[in-house]
A and B are shown apart, each in its own frame.
Chain A
Amino acid sequence: MSEFHEMGFVEFSKVQKSYDGESLVVKDLNLSVGKGEFLTMLGPSGSGKTTCLMMLAGFETATHGEILLDSRPINNIPPHKRGIGMVFQNYALFPHMTVNENLSFPLEVRGQGKAEREANVKKALDMVQMSEFGHRRPAQLSGGQQQRIALARSLVFEPDLVLMDEPLGALDKQLREHMQFEIKHLHERLGVTVVYVTHDQSEALTMSDRIAVFDDGVIQQLASPNDLYERPENAFVAQFIGENNRIDAVVSEIHGDKVLVEYNNGGKGEALAVNCGDVGSKTTLSVRPERVRIGEKVGVNSIDAVVKELIYLGDHIRCRMDVMGNDEFVVKIPNSATSISMDVGEKTSVSWDVSDCRALDA
């Protein structure tokens, strides 16, 4: 990522975390976050992403390894001395304080004078367009408004790094999408480094510069949203990000960056050799539903299929098919004037380009 000149503003180096001394929640984590970057930790629940965030905030201690902030080891610095902003999942706005008091709390602790505090609080509230709500208590605000206040509070003391732990999880879909853009724009305007945790992939794709996909305590892939979707490096990422068709196969020949595979029913195909083993080993092929063509029998990757279900979704038609005994094979047909009409039960064939088919780990 060349646009972030100062790599390693936040650095995890061989970090491991165990709660019970028997199993690792985070296994050998190495991660470098650039200054001003928006990095998202994405993964299913229990994948270790929140634990990583808590270690960075100082609420959990790393069992092994080192965490550096601005090239300074912070393992032994207590949370209140780290100067990291954080937005909590349920906002954690202090219920007995007004919005103004909530925002001036971190400034008070830092010994700012009254006038200075008021100016900073006002600035932060303006930033999230909440300046009229300073005298309300959190309980008198809607979920979206509380979210903005929590955001303002994490930024009011001008930290260089802000952590967000699924901050939009409690909002409804529309508000959530709106807030995603707002956070993204705020990040762009302030240039603050953000480490964001979520299990919602569309949220991650919308906002992030880079996404670290977590599973089982390990970063499966660290890449930009574009790369992550277009070029998944393993079967988990391919399956987790976006919709994906997986086809089990066995490697039969390798030619440079291409690989010839044999399907379970004896058919043959060709794919990009991304992450597959030697000849004779099992592999999982990954094809995105929108890259599959229906009806034409061209190229090496062409297989018979039966239409099982058609769902009209306006901009596209979602077609579930039976391909080699797998009836979860999905094809997205764009809704255009020229698109072909089909019926359920119709026998046809599907095909795709070699460059759209990636041979991944089994």
Chain B
Amino acid sequence: MSDASVNVKKRQMMTADGIPLKRSLRISLRREKLRGLALLAVPALFVIMLFIWPIYTLFQKSIDDSFVNDVLPRTMAIYEKWDGEDLPGEVHFEAMFLDLTTAEKLEIGKVSTRMNYAKSGWKSLIKKSNRKFKKFDPQKALLPQMIKADKRWGDIEFWKSLGIMKDRRTAGYYWNAVDRTYDSKKNVIMQPENRRVYVMFWKRTLLVSAIVTVACLILAYPVAYLLATLPLRVSNLLMICVLMPFWTSLLVRIVAWMIMLQQQGVLNDSLVGLGIIAEENRLPLMYNFNGTLIVMTQVLLPFMILPLYSVMRGIPPTYMKAAQNLGATPSWAFLRVYMPQTVPGVGAGVILVFIVAVGYFITPELVGGKDGQMIGNQIAYHLRKSLNWGLASAMGVMLLVAILVLYWVYDKIVGIDNMRLG
């Protein structure tokens, strides 16, 4: 610190009335500050309610495992007392019996579904037992009655599996999302061979997103260049052609692609009609991996064209002229002078397309067939069909983290400040 600034610190500045200048300034700015904060509160509230809160609940859901504890309180309270080796004692059976007979029927259905993730068989065991519980004599020991009703109650593997669910927080859904699970001692192990699917879906999702992103870049670059260099009147017309599909319903576009690309579709018919391919060699372009790629590329193309166009529009044509004037051939000038200046647009387009592609699900659902499904379809499946919201949430959080990591990498390499979204 220089001498001058030390001096300033010693001598406190005063206003003409003798109030310290700093306080006077603070008072005079307070009104403005308050007004600024009030205005800021509206969008801040909006962001919290519609963005931060849902993401927080999503995260909560993905690690929440309190359900079994809530529905089977007696069983879980004394669970620790069991040695985990021999068959549990009468108290445990009694607790289980009381829990299952006092809980609401709907809750039992839900909890049995959860328990079934830990060990398959729980659902049918509880369903079957619940019917027989009515005939039980509560005065007698419950252990033999329950084992008599269903001999699985005597299988300590079922009792062991309860241990996995005794904590109210779990990372289990995350392990499930990458084909791993807990054994009864809470060690992470691979899922059985026939239940390993998600790693494959993750890989395919990344692969599809990468291919779609690259394809979009290759297709969008020349279009954006043309848009940016043509006279405004022509380029506006072209822009409408680019945006028209963007405004059209996604379903309509997908159906159009179905008509184009299916086995008996326009493209295959034309190729066969022209004698380019034989009748029996019709190209499989729809309801498979290819279908997903083709349609997603078309759907996401505007997300690449628009940021590229906006960046290219801002590059004055004099740069290319200057480069040529300095002796560079037009192609060299393009490579060395024009393309580096489009990097912010390329970065924005790539990030945008990749992020949207990673979470895509309608298109793969409709045109992906069996081998064109992505992780988004799995999330939808668990949300709507299997109702395993924990797993769906975990997958959602993982997608979000993957995107944030991507963003971070981009920031390191190119710099977020360099990104121009349009």
Q: How far is the CA of A89 from the CA of B321 in the complex (A)?
A: 12
Across-interface contacts of A153 in B (CB, < 8 A): 326
B327 touches A90 (CB 8 A): no
Closest to B337 in A: A94
Q: Which of A81-106 contact B (CB under 8 A)?
A: 81-86, 88-90, 92, 94-96, 105-106
Shortest CB-to-CB span from A200 to chain B, Å, is 20
B316 touches A96 (CB 8 A): no
A80 touches B340 (CB 8 A): no
Is B332 in contact with chain A by the CB < 8 A criterion?
A: yes
Q: How far is the CA of A84 from the CA of B322 in the complex (A)?
A: 11
B328 touches A80 (CB 8 A): yes
Is B318 in contact with chain A by the CB < 8 A criterion?
A: yes
Those 8 A-B pairs whose CB atoms lie nearest each other, nearest first: A92-B322, A106-B326, A92-B318, A109-B327, A79-B324, A80-B324, A96-B340, A86-B325
Q: How far is the CA of A270 from the CA of B330 in the complex (A)?
A: 61
**Most chain A CB atoms below 10 A, which of B323, B326, B327, B336:** B326
Across-interface contacts of A57 in B (CB, < 8 A): 321, 325
Q: Which of A78, A86, A105 contacts B336 (CB 8 A)?
A: A105
Across-interface contacts of A79 in B (CB, < 8 A): 321, 324-325
Q: How far is the CA of A70 from the CA of B267 in the complex (A)?
A: 59
Is A157 in contact with chain B by the CB < 8 A criterion?
A: yes
B321 touches A88 (CB 8 A): yes
Closest to B332 in A: A109
Is B82 in contact with chain A by the CB < 8 A criterion?
A: no
Across-interface contacts of B323 in A (CB, < 8 A): 94, 105
Is A59 in contact with chain B by the CB < 8 A criterion?
A: yes
Question: Residue-by-residue, is B322-356 near A (CB-CB < 8 Å gives 1, otherwise 0)?
Answer: 11111111101100110011010000000000000
Is B319 in contact with chain A by the CB < 8 A criterion?
A: yes
- Interface of A toward B, CB cutoff 8 Å: 57-59, 78-86, 88-90, 92, 94-96, 105-106, 109-110, 153, 157
A92 touches B321 (CB 8 A): yes
Question: Residue-by-residue, is B388-417 near A (CB-CB < 8 Å gives 1, otherwise 0)?
Answer: 000000000000000000000000000000
Q: How far is the CA of A184 from the CA of B105 in the complex (A)?
A: 96
Q: Can you spell out 14 A-B residue pairs with CB atoms less than 8 angstroms apart?
A: A57-B325, A58-B324, A80-B329, A82-B325, A83-B327, A86-B325, A88-B321, A89-B318, A90-B318, A92-B321, A94-B323, A94-B337, A95-B341, A157-B327
Q: How far is the CA of A94 from the CA of B326 in the complex (A)?
A: 12
Majority secondary structure of chain B interface residues (helix, strand, loop or mixed) = helix
Across-interface contacts of A89 in B (CB, < 8 A): 318
Q: How far is the CA of A277 from the CA of B323 in the complex (A)?
A: 51
B326 touches A109 (CB 8 A): yes
Shortest CB-to-CB span from A15 to chain B, Å, is 20
Q: Which of B319, B322, B333, B343 contacts A86 (CB 8 A)?
A: B322
Across-interface contacts of B326 in A (CB, < 8 A): 80, 105-106, 109, 153, 157
> Do A78 and B321 form a contact, CB below 8 Å, given A90-B316, A95-B341, A109-B332?
no
B337 touches A109 (CB 8 A): no
Q: Which of A92, A96, A106 contacts B327 (CB 8 A)?
A: A106
Across-interface contacts of A94 in B (CB, < 8 A): 319, 322-323, 337, 341
Question: Residue-by-residue, is B232-246 near A (CB-CB < 8 Å gives 1, otherwise 0)?
Answer: 000000000000000
Across-interface contacts of A95 in B (CB, < 8 A): 341
Across-interface contacts of B327 in A (CB, < 8 A): 80-81, 83, 106, 109-110, 157
Number of A-B contacts (CB under 8 A): 60
Question: Residue-by-residue, is B276-320 near A (CB-CB < 8 Å gives 1, otherwise 0)?
Answer: 000000000000000000000000000000000000000010110
Across-interface contacts of B321 in A (CB, < 8 A): 57, 59, 79, 88, 92
Q: How far is the CA of A92 from the CA of B320 in the complex (A)?
A: 9
Q: Which of A80, A82, A157 contacts B330 (CB 8 A)?
A: A80
B325 touches A84 (CB 8 A): yes
A109 touches B328 (CB 8 A): yes
Shortest CB-to-CB span from B112 to chain A, Å, is 62
Shortest CB-to-CB span from A185 to chain B, Å, is 24
Closest to B322 in A: A92
Closest to A106 in B: B326
A85 touches B325 (CB 8 A): yes
Q: Which of B318, B329, B336, B337 contacts A88 (CB 8 A)?
A: B318
A92 touches B316 (CB 8 A): yes
Closest to A101 in B: B336
Shortest CB-to-CB span from A51 to chain B, Å, is 14
Q: How far is the CA of A81 from the CA of B329 in the complex (A)?
A: 8
Shortest CB-to-CB span from B419 to chain A, Å, is 15
Across-interface contacts of A82 in B (CB, < 8 A): 325
- Beyond A78-B324, A81-B327, A109-B327, 18 additional pairs, beta carbon < 8 A: A59-B321, A79-B325, A80-B326, A80-B327, A80-B328, A80-B329, A80-B330, A83-B327, A85-B325, A86-B322, A86-B325, A88-B321, A88-B322, A89-B318, A92-B318, A92-B319, A96-B340, A157-B327
Across-interface contacts of A84 in B (CB, < 8 A): 325
Q: How far is the CA of A85 from the CA of B336 in the complex (A)?
A: 19
Q: How far is the CA of A306 from the CA of B347 in the complex (A)?
A: 71
Q: How far is the CA of A153 from the CA of B326 in the complex (A)?
A: 8
Q: How far is the CA of A267 from the CA of B336 in the complex (A)?
A: 70
Q: How far is the CA of A105 from the CA of B340 in the complex (A)?
A: 14
Closest to B319 in A: A92
Across-interface contacts of B340 in A (CB, < 8 A): 96
Q: How far is the CA of A79 from the CA of B332 in the complex (A)?
A: 13
Shortest CB-to-CB span from A124 to chain B, Å, is 13
Q: How far is the CA of A78 from the CA of B333 in the complex (A)?
A: 13
Q: How far is the CA of A292 from the CA of B325 in the complex (A)?
A: 49
Q: How far is the CA of A85 from the CA of B316 in the complex (A)?
A: 19
Across-interface contacts of B337 in A (CB, < 8 A): 94
B336 touches A80 (CB 8 A): no
Q: How far is the CA of A80 from the CA of B331 in the complex (A)?
A: 11
B328 touches A96 (CB 8 A): no
Across-interface contacts of B324 in A (CB, < 8 A): 58, 78-80
Across-interface contacts of A105 in B (CB, < 8 A): 323, 326, 328, 336
Shortest CB-to-CB span from A229 to chain B, Å, is 33
Shortest CB-to-CB span from B34 to chain A, Å, is 37
Across-interface contacts of A88 in B (CB, < 8 A): 318, 321-322
Shortest CB-to-CB span from A334 to chain B, Å, is 45
Closest to B327 in A: A109
**Most chain B CB atoms below 10 A, which of A84, A92, A95:** A92
Q: How far is the CA of A237 from the CA of B270 in the complex (A)?
A: 70
Q: How far is the CA of A81 from the CA of B330 in the complex (A)?
A: 11
Closest to A54 in B: B321
Shortest CB-to-CB span from B408 to chain A, Å, is 23
Across-interface contacts of B328 in A (CB, < 8 A): 80, 105-106, 109
Closest to B326 in A: A106
Across-interface contacts of A80 in B (CB, < 8 A): 324-330, 333
Q: How far is the CA of A281 from the CA of B333 in the complex (A)?
A: 58
Shortest CB-to-CB span from A58 to chain B, Å, is 8
Closest to B318 in A: A92
Across-interface contacts of A106 in B (CB, < 8 A): 326-328
Across-interface contacts of A81 in B (CB, < 8 A): 327
Q: How far is the CA of A80 from the CA of B329 in the complex (A)?
A: 6
Across-interface contacts of B336 in A (CB, < 8 A): 105
Shortest CB-to-CB span from B315 to chain A, Å, is 9
